Every structure is written in C-alpha cells, then in structure tokens.
Amino acid sequence: MPSVIAITGFLGDSADFGPMIASCPSDWSWHVVTPLDLGGRGIGEMAEALARIPADLRIGYSMGGRILLAALDGTPSIALSTGCGLTEKKAMHARATLDDQRANHLRNDPKIFLDQWYEQPLFATLRSSPVWGELEVRRQGACQQANRWAGLLQAASPGRTAAPVLRSPLGFVVGDLDRAYRIPPEPFPNRVLPETGHAVHLESPESTARAINELLKDLEP
C-alpha cells in the first residue's frame, strides 16, 4: 500500500485530484497539498517542505510538478503537464516581468484575473470539459486568498527559478493537445494521453490514473 503525496497546481485545491484518486487502487494512501500548504514561496523553499513529508510516491501537476522536480531525491515521482524550466536570461526576465503583472492584476481584480487566466489557450480543452462549471466555482473561492496566490505567482515564477536537474526515478504524463508541454523530456518514461489538454487529471482522470499505475511499475527498481 503506497503512501502518495499529490501537489496541486496554481489556484488548486484537494478536490482537483478526487476523480483521479477514485480511479487509482483503493489501498493507496493519499495526502493532497497545495503550493500554499508548502509555504507559498519560491519553488526551492516549497521543494524543501515537500521533501520533509514522507511518501512512497510523489505526484505533481503543473506548478506542483515544478515543486516535485525541485525535490527529486530518489523518491519515485510523476510529473503531470510540467515544464522543465527556462535557461535563457532574456526569456527568464520576460517571464518574471509577466508574472509580476499577473500578480498585480490578481491582487487588484481577482474576478477579471481569473477569467483571463483561464482564457489562455493552455486551458481551452478544460473550459469545454464537463468539469469546468464546478471547477470555476472552486477557483472563485480560491481567489479569496488572492494576495497569497499573487505572492506565490511572483516568487515561484519560472523567471525566478533555476531549471531543475532531472534524475530517476521520474516519469511524465502529458496530454497530446497540450501545445506547451506535450513533448515530455527524454529519456524518462512517459505517457501521452489522447484527446487531452493541459489539465490531464481533471480532463481525463481515469486515463491519468491508468498512466500513473503503469509508470509506477516502470519506476520500481
């Protein structure tokens, strides 16, 4: 019976993983955390907090996946729809500036920020999925902590975070419609989910659970 810690993405809550968890083996023990639960600061600091939580398997989505990649220490880890960081100074500066602007927008007008955040092409398939209505309500609730999420968005920006050093045991799950992250890094084991966008665990929870089960076998010594 593996103990599993799952880290949500930006603005996420524990319910995000509910359908996926329901499709995983019933004897798995789950602990779901958000980036705010890990301190809501820079990726490195949150990774240190994550590393202090014992688990047999770590799963992280998007920003949660970036925290996971920064905490690699030999614990089997599976990153869902996760980028591997920026390396060029110009690109990092541009992203940090963009995230500062986004954070200020979130502080000043959470409702409009939320609308514009999910209007990104990254979330097109999520917005058209059956889960969107309920999820939108939960995200509106998350914006009650707009200042904390805004501070996190700035501190954890890829523009302020060194690219992680990837090491096994590590696997990736991506959606084939996710233009940003649909090509997982080699040579790590991976699963590409058909007809799925960025939010794999929300759009295709059963397929994501199946991919995690398969990858866990690949990661076992």
Nearest to 14 by CA among 31, 38, 1, 27: 31
Residue type, 170: L
Beta bridge partners of 32: 6
CB 120 within 8 A of CB 114: no
From CA 110, how far away is CA 120, in angstroms rounded? 16
Query: Token pair for residue 166?
Result: 């990837």
Can you give the pTM of this predicted structure? 0.96
Fold of 3-86+162-219: Rossmann fold (3.40.50)
> CB–CB of 29/57 below 8 Å?
no
* Token digits of residue 218: 């690949």
Q: How much is the pLDDT for 140?
A: 95
Whether 55 contacts 169, CB under 8 Å:
no
**CA pair distance 169, 171, nearest whole angstrom:** 7
The CA-CA-CA angle for residues 123, 130, 183, to 5°, reads: 35
- Compute the distance between CA of residue 2 and CA of residue 148 in angstroms, rounded to an integer: 32
Q: Could you state, in order of their start, the residue ranges of all structural domains in the chain?
A: 3-86+162-219, 89-155
Q: How far is 27 from 157, CA to CA, in rounded Å?
A: 36
pLDDT block averages, 10 residues each, the chain of length 221: 94 97 97 96 97 97 98 97 94 98 97 96 96 97 96 97 95 94 86 96 98 94 74
